[in-house]
Amino acid sequence: MAELKHELVKPTGNLPIWLMTFPLPDAETPSEILPHWHQGIEISYTVAGSIDQFQIDNQVYQTAPGRIIVVNSQSVHSIEAGQEGQALSMIYPYNFVSSLFPKINELEFAVNDPGTFSKKQQVAYQLLQKKLQAIYDRWAGSSDDLREVKVCTLSMEVLEILLEYFTVPRQQELGQKLFITQRMREILDYIYDHYHEPVGLTEIAAHAHISKEYLARFFKKNMGITVAAYLRNLRARAARKLLLADPGTLDSIAEQCGFSGLRSMNRALEECYQESASEIRQITPKRTDNK
């Protein structure tokens, strides 16, 4: 079965990790990222502003400047951005970490609750903050010849601190988590392939050979969102992209994205973006003029 794009961790440039600073230059940074997972270890560092809702395996965190959030491999997570600000996101491919430190298969990271830290961990956390800030400053700032060398060195130092001070025994067996992610991958593959069609619980459950009731419970428990809300959000994001790039009619775009009509598309767009289809369409000339 093919992996979903959001599971793949493609390193940035010549780095061994994926890295991004936010807000993105010359592009819209999404205010909401749908539930997903990676075959990798993700670090989010808030430089300024906040993230109102960073949800990991149904546990919700709120960030502030200096807050570090770590997402363990295959942990389902989603993001709703808060105040405008700056942030750093890094993902270490799991195979890369396990090749350096095979014991990681028995461990996971526990960084998201600073109130439980020992004195040594508090000192280590402060060092992590300094190094993550240095990575952000280097990557978002100058692009000198040593940029990737310095960032690569700092990212390995961050990984070393995490492994030395913030690992705990894995709470969930890999086999159990693998079963969940494999089943969820099958469901999400089908949704991504068919969201532009009039699909719902009935069709998705039939494809996965499970009951509608089980699908609804399983999806909500593991993704933190209902199937209907996930579909609506996915269709809204697809519709917004088309509205900004496709000259087709609003009704035709609604149909292309799997909505029953313009009214349902507008409800989804207003829920996700606080804008109707016509309001989104009106900003297209502004984007064109700025190019």
Residue 196: give its domain's CATH number: 1.10.10.60
| pLDDT at 203 (0 to 100) | 95
Evaluate whether 241 touches 256 at the Cβ level (below 8 Å).
no
| pLDDT at 30 (0 to 100) | 53
Indicate whether 164 and 184 sit together in one domain. Answer: no
| pLDDT at 83 (0 to 100) | 54
| pLDDT at 38 (0 to 100) | 85
Indicate whether 94 and 145 sit together in one domain. Answer: yes
Indicate whether 135 and 182 sit together in one domain. Answer: no
Evaluate whether 37 touches 7 at the Cβ level (below 8 Å).
yes
In angstroms, the CA 17 to CA 173 distance is 25
Domain boundary among 110, 135, 169: 169
- The amino acid that residue 11 corresponds to is P
Q: 185 is in which domain, residue-wise?
A: 174-290
Under-70 pLDDT residues of the chain: 1-8, 24-32, 81-84, 172-178, 283-291
Residues whose CB is less than 8 angstroms from the CB of residue 84 and which lie 6 or more positions away in sequence, other chains included: 23, 49
Indicate whether 19 and 163 sit together in one domain. Answer: yes
| DSSP output for 224-286 | SS-HHHHHHHHHHHHHHHHHHH--S-HHHHHHHTT-SSHHHHHHHHHHHHS--HHHHHHTHHH
Residue 140: give its domain's CATH number: 2.60.120.10
Indicate whether 209 and 226 sit together in one domain. Answer: yes
Indicate whether 180 and 164 sit together in one domain. Answer: no
| DSSP output for 96-149 | HHHHH-GGGGGEEE--S-GGG--HHHHHHHHHHHHHHHHHHHHHHS---TTHHH
Indicate whether 66 and 188 sit together in one domain. Answer: no
3-state helix, strand and coil shares in percent for the chain, rounded to the nearest 5:
50, 20, 30
pTM of the model: 0.74
Number of domains in the chain: 2
